[in-house]
Amino acid sequence: MKPFFTCLYYLENDSDCLLEIKRNDLPADADISDIFRWLYINKHTFEISPLVFRSMDSSGEVQERFFDQGYLKFNDHTGTYIEKFNSAQHQLENKTGLTISTELHKAIVSYLIP
């Protein structure tokens, strides 16, 4: 059975997590913004806030993602997310390729299924 979603990017610190997921449960003709989603998750409360993707850039080892809510810059090891409205900076560790926790997985599934 195909998993409900695939985690494409996974960055976190002690309190926050940013993920890009690809939903595997939607039809092939679904809108790309529904299939690929960036989520900001508070790891203490498991509150999930969607990030509205605007654009991306990559040069060599550095990846950049621009959202309505802020800006993410990362490489294979670390990242920084800067919130747009309060300018808070979150230093993150890139854990892409590692399995997310069961609690995080359950929170995402609950968020995606109304």
SS3 61: coil
Stretch (H or E) spanning 111: helix 102-112
Residue 1 has pLDDT above 70, yes or no: no
pLDDT reported for residue 2? 72
Stretch (H or E) spanning 92: strand 89-94
58-76 pLDDT, tens per residue? 988 999 999 999 999 999 9
* 39, amino acid identity: L
Residues 22, 106: Cα–Cα separation, whole Å: 16
Work out the pLDDT band at 32, boundaries 50, 70, 90.
very high
- The neighbour count for residue 36, using CB atoms within 10 Å, is 13
